Amino acid sequence: MSSLPLSAMILSAGLGTRMRPLTETCPKPLITVAGKVLLAHNLDLLTKASINNIVVNIHHLGDMIRSFINDQKYHQVKISDETERLLDSGGGIKKALPLLGSDPFFVMNADSFFVDGPQSNLHRLAAAFRPDDMDILLLVAGGLQMTGYEGFGDFMMDAEGVLSRRHERVVAPFVYTGVALIKPTLFADTPEGPFSLNLLFDRAIAAGRLFGLRLDGEWLHVGTPDAIAAAEARLVLGATTTGL
């Protein structure tokens, strides 16, 4: 891609069911890890990478997220309100498209964050994105790059970076970190209301246009209360994030 995307969306509207009982009184994006709430970890990564138009969607205890953004003076953040109806990942992005613009934009999940290696992974994604060949570029992690993930992987990746789904009973080497670079035009032929971003992933796979870029650094997935301690322990062992 010839220039850095100007916009990003952080998916922050989930119910946080696996994080209960903490999420009964606090939305998952405001769970604290190493002295900083999850949402701030991702907002600071985007700000450091000079992404200055950021959309955050809200649903569960959404007023707390809105208050946090206002109190912390994240003036570059716009709210996409899903209080009346939770729209899932794809539907939530589709609702927010008027705030994101017509160019490719970043997507991030609020329940995980990454620690950069020598280079910004967001800058690496932008540099690797080829709009003529790719519809979506995912940041993927593998092996010892992950903390807090328990599963069998998500994708296989060939030498050109083309991704395919893990088959049943097969362990895949790469896991989707929740960070992607995506074209807004892909949402033109999508359902109204709730739908998963996986719909667009599968369409891109069928067209041979879903690609992956391996993370340079470490990925911390904070999906359960136990994962908080694991992430904090990993950070103490050597990983650092902006502001820690």
For CA atoms 52, 57, 60, 61, the dihedral sign is positive
User: How far, in Å, CA of 175 to CA of 42, rounded?
Assistant: 18
Q: What single letter denotes the amino acid at residue 233? A: A
Cα separation values, 226 from 14, 21, 67, 161, 174, Å: 19, 12, 27, 33, 23
What is residue 2's predicted lDDT score, i.e. its pLDDT? 59
In degrees and rounded to multiples of 5, residue 202 shows phi and psi of -65, -40
pTM, full prediction: 0.90
User: How far, in Å, CA of 65 to CA of 43, rounded?
Assistant: 13
Whether the CB-CB separation of 209 and 134 falls below 8 Å is answered with yes
Whether the CB-CB separation of 195 and 88 falls below 8 Å is answered with yes
3-state secondary structure at position 122: helix
N residues, the chain: 244
Locate the DSSP E strands across the chain.
7-11, 32-33, 36-37, 53-58, 77-81, 105-109, 112-116, 136-141, 146-147, 155-157, 163-165, 175-182, 210-214, 217-221
Ordered domains of the chain (ranges, CATH): 7-237 (3.90.550.10)
Q: What is the pLDDT along the chain (244 residues), one digit of tens a residue?
A: 657 788 999 999 887 677 787 778 888 899 888 888 999 999 999 998 989 899 999 998 888 999 889 888 888 899 999 998 999 999 999 999 999 999 999 999 998 899 988 889 999 999 999 999 999 999 999 888 888 788 888 899 999 999 999 888 888 899 999 999 999 999 999 999 999 999 999 999 999 999 999 999 999 988 888 888 778 888 877 644 443 3
What is residue 125's predicted lDDT score, i.e. its pLDDT? 95
User: How far, in Å, CA of 173 to CA of 91, rounded?
Assistant: 29
Tell me the Cα Rg of the chain: 17
